A and B are shown apart, each in its own frame.
Chain A
């Protein structure tokens, strides 16, 4: 479904030296699978996700999604056609939720971009899907707890009815009961909507047990480890 070939990205240090974060990275992601990515902090897991989704520009390489190379198409095309299908869930919900807007309005605005009918129903459905009470529609982000913010961000990712979700540390920083609930939500939604997940996490016990395949990002490339 998604094929990454020879992805390269380097960063420039303050003193001008180049650091290659991704060196000729290759991976093929299958439809409907949960792909776990682990690696040391700072090794480039986040960069990998963001480059694939063109939230950052790669130096070279190709990312084929349903036959289209995401690296080659224009930003406009990405915005109109790709974003709705390949969603990114940020690690820190504080930066993704608009503090001046209620959760419901945020969902509605997102939904409006890609759908025209039954908008209110879609908003209600997405709230239910992530386990947020309907009343939260009129709450502002600062009124929500950490776990609830995570769910709101997830609802916003799901409302565009995507095919793939790239999630960056979606379970970290939550207490165990909340984590377990969120994991269950993730798995239920995947079953219901036939989604493909790419999960980045440092939590071994979660990644080991939730993923269909596990890859480690080390030295700029992805290597599969066990299964």
Chain B
């Protein structure tokens, strides 16, 4: 069996393997485009309503992201109780003193779907538990609770497990399960909107803004860079000066100014982002073109008989700078997503009730204190995946189109 040399170098090389990155990038881009189409067509209707603050209904996510509250009590019989009323005294127990349930139950389920829970009791020598309080249809068999909620049980359902240990002490563990009509795979936010719907709705800010910024940066910046390098004269100094000035102003300042002036119109802001990205494109194209101008390439192309225009735009830019332009374009998309998220998070971009992932992050911020992670985690993952998707796409396409890397 051949021993594969696994070290940082080979793993790194594998990560950026031509086919791998391109495939990944294309997959993510396709997903975004599909989501975009859905979002533009359906808009807000996609977003299902449900209980507020619901954790994700996909079991795996629920377990990872949420620890439900389970109340624990010590049950003692009240010797002084009268004949009627509660003859039990319930004393709350701290989870530091004793942990009745070692594993966490799921606390939400959709109607018609099976709810099951096999509790791990934290007592030694316990007798089997019983259900002191449970919704209709819930049964216990071999230590496993099963139940299929129906439409009458939508809402909160309390479940109380009663246990006794060998000393005869009785305990009770209580928690509630929320039953929903719809399926909320990623949970809901504070207003009861399905997070999965929100994410789809917010995806509309991933493509179009990037398109605006990229078009401005690539076409205008590329043009300026190419022309200034080819006709290296006064024009070059002026254009380089403009590029340097634009580059030195922090991107966010320009963005904030446009946000304030246009009342947070994201599309105008993206024009600003395009202007911010312009100098980078200009400089790269300019330096690439200069390489050709400074050796005898331009002259020898004229010697063949090519016109100046053809030499610049076809021979230099199209044949040689294509790959750089493509990877710069994808970078513009990635950057635009980042800017949109930042300004929406700060309240300077997409405004509520409009949805964007940045807005979701902002809303989810206060929920973090309540340990409602999903409201932040899923938008954040979506943002990261989109940005990475564009970066991979850029890397993959650049490899494909760069003649020197063949």
Contact = CB atoms under 8 A, between A and B. Distances in A.
Main secondary structure of the interface of B (DSSP, over half): helix
Contact of B305 (A79, A92, A142): A79
Given A95-B300, A96-B300, A101-B403, A113 B305 contact: yes
A98 B305 contact: no
A79 B320 contact: no
Contacts of B306: 109, 113
B304 A113 contact: yes
Given A84-B305, A88-B303, A114-B305, A95 B403 contact: no
Contacts of B302: 55, 79
A160 to B, nearest CB: 8
Contact of B319 (A84, A98, A160): A98
A96 B305 contact: no
Nearest to A114: B305
A163 interface: no
B320 A53 contact: no
Contacts of A99: 320, 403-404
A83 B304 contact: yes
Nearest to B320: A100
Interface string B281-314: 0000000000000011101111111110000000
A186 interface: no
B304 A156 contact: yes
B303 A95 contact: no
A95 B297 contact: yes
Give the one of A84, A100, A109, A110 with max B CB within 10 A.
A100
Contacts of B304: 83, 110, 113, 156, 160
B406 interface: yes
A90 B298 CA distance: 12
A90 B302 CA distance: 13
Given A100-B322, A113-B304, 7 more contacts: A80-B305, A83-B304, A84-B305, A87-B303, A88-B303, A109-B306, A114-B305
23 contacts: A53-B303, A55-B303, A79-B305, A83-B303, A83-B305, A84-B305, A88-B300, A90-B300, A92-B296, A94-B295, A96-B297, A100-B320, A100-B322, A101-B315, A101-B319, A110-B304, A113-B306, A140-B404, A140-B406, A142-B403, A142-B404, A160-B304, A160-B305
